[in-house]
Amino acid sequence: MELKAVKNIKFVEGGVCAAKGFKANGIQCGLAHAGASVTKKKNDLALIVADTECTAAAVYTTNKVKGAPILVTKEHLKNGRAKAVIVNSVNANTCNADGVEKANKMCELAAKELGIDADDVIVASTGVIGQVLPIEPIANGMKELAEGLTYDGNSRALEAIMTTDTQKKEVAVEFELGGKTCTMGGMLKGSGMIHPNMATTLTFITTDAAISEELVQRALSDVVKVTLNRASVDGDTSTNDMVCVMASGSAGNKPVTKEDGEFEKFQTALYAIMMNLARMMARDGEGATKLIECAVSGADSDKTAEIVAKSVICSSLFKAAMFGEDANWGRILCAVGYADAEFDINKVDVKIGSAKGVIDVCKNGAGVEFSEEKAKEILGEEVIEIIISIGSGNGSAVAWGCDLTYDYVKINGDYRS
């Protein structure tokens, strides 16, 4: 699947190591989860470290059940500064009596090895909920992890945060601030337990741009609303979701400290990364074979458009029809109809499209004739667009989802083993 272009933004390689002065590494420290017959042969512990202290911001899950690492990271980011990220997969360190203690310990172990303060460390965990996190493998692996840090270690780190992900999801961009070339890059894990209304999934973004603590938080909080919070795989809001951005300032631009044109450029770069990561996440939804992009326009507000778009991409019936490449548009209209928003259903138009073309399937709330053959051809593609107009207003929104497949059931029928 190709990256989706954003004006004035140039895509580059390197993920979280693309920006100047960020090292990363990932190792397999041996965090097997209870019930697993064999340890998955993949990295399970990652470290990202900045050469200099960064301004940093994060957004977190809205689930009342919060992973212990979320609580610890919130504390550590109160001053808006950070220098490193330690993160493990396999075990979510959530719903355990000793969770906060263990999350703190992870920060301490990383800080000691790096010679920095523990409260400059961001900590995150992802994996099975409710099993005690064994700290020994992490303690034993920390030296190797730190010694292996390199300025091109992004891929090793990314592998270490993946769970049921099948694709590596990272994006990096170049942009310009005050005449200086800045770079920003991010990586994301997330495939199941993914649903709007939060900062979906674990995402780590690094940049060498200089920006104040307040504005990096504002940029992140704004952009997450129209990117990750508009993607859903299965309607389940995770307990451990976190997105964090670290900005080192090494690019040498005059720091962004007010909401001017420079701030907008920073936000656009962040949008280019997070929008593409959101699309990659939905495409790599557990068991998915297709990315579904639903664009709603003509609404009385962006909020109404968003509610309708999310209703469509979250419909199990619609998602199963997309897997079957069946142009069953009645299910789209059904999901539009039960969306919790006010509009005139008799003004709703629906088109289905992809790289193979676009066809009208519904006008003014009623079906129109279309070629089933053409519809099959369109729906045979990997990226499907559902284009909905619900009236003559100026509100619009895009949401991203995936199809519902046998493999989603298979993956989740026995996740713990």
Q: Residues in the site for a second copy, rule: CB under 8 A?
A: 35, 62-66, 92, 94-97, 128-131, 192-193, 195, 197, 234-239, 314-317, 320-321, 323-324, 326, 328-331, 333-339, 343, 345, 362, 365-367, 372, 404-406, 408-417
**Nearest distance, CB of residue 241 and a second copy, angstroms:** 10
Q: Is 235:310 a contact under the CB 8 Å cutoff?
A: no
| Nearest Cα residue to 231 out of 247, 246, 218, 243 | 243
- In whole angstroms, what is the distance from residue 297 CA to residue 312 CA? 14
**Nearest distance, CB of residue 130 and a second copy, angstroms:** 4
CA 339 to chain centre: 24
Judged by beta carbon, residue 170 or residue 234, the one nearer a second copy is: 234
Helix (H, G, I), strand (E, B) or coil at 347: helix
CA 277 to chain centre: 6
For residue 119, the one-letter residue type is: D
Judged by beta carbon, residue 187 or residue 384, the one nearer a second copy is: 384
Judged by beta carbon, residue 164 or residue 297, the one nearer a second copy is: 164
| Nearest Cα residue to 14 out of 269, 209, 201, 207 | 207
Judged by beta carbon, residue 94 or residue 253, the one nearer a second copy is: 94
Q: Give the CB-side neighbour count of residue 316, counting CA atoms within 13 A.
A: 6
- In whole angstroms, what is the distance from residue 322 CA to residue 43 CA? 33
At residue 413, what are phi and psi to the nearest 5 degrees? -70, -25
Q: Is 299:305 a contact under the CB 8 Å cutoff?
A: yes
**Nearest distance, CB of residue 140 and a second copy, angstroms:** 25
**Nearest distance, CB of residue 193 and a second copy, angstroms:** 6
Judged by beta carbon, residue 5 or residue 409, the one nearer a second copy is: 409
Q: Is 289 a catalytic residue?
A: no
**Nearest distance, CB of residue 64 and a second copy, angstroms:** 4
> Which position among 200, 206, 207, 237 bears the catalytic label?
200
- The first and second tokens of residue 74, run together, are 């919130």
Instruction: Enumerate the active-site residues.
Output: 200
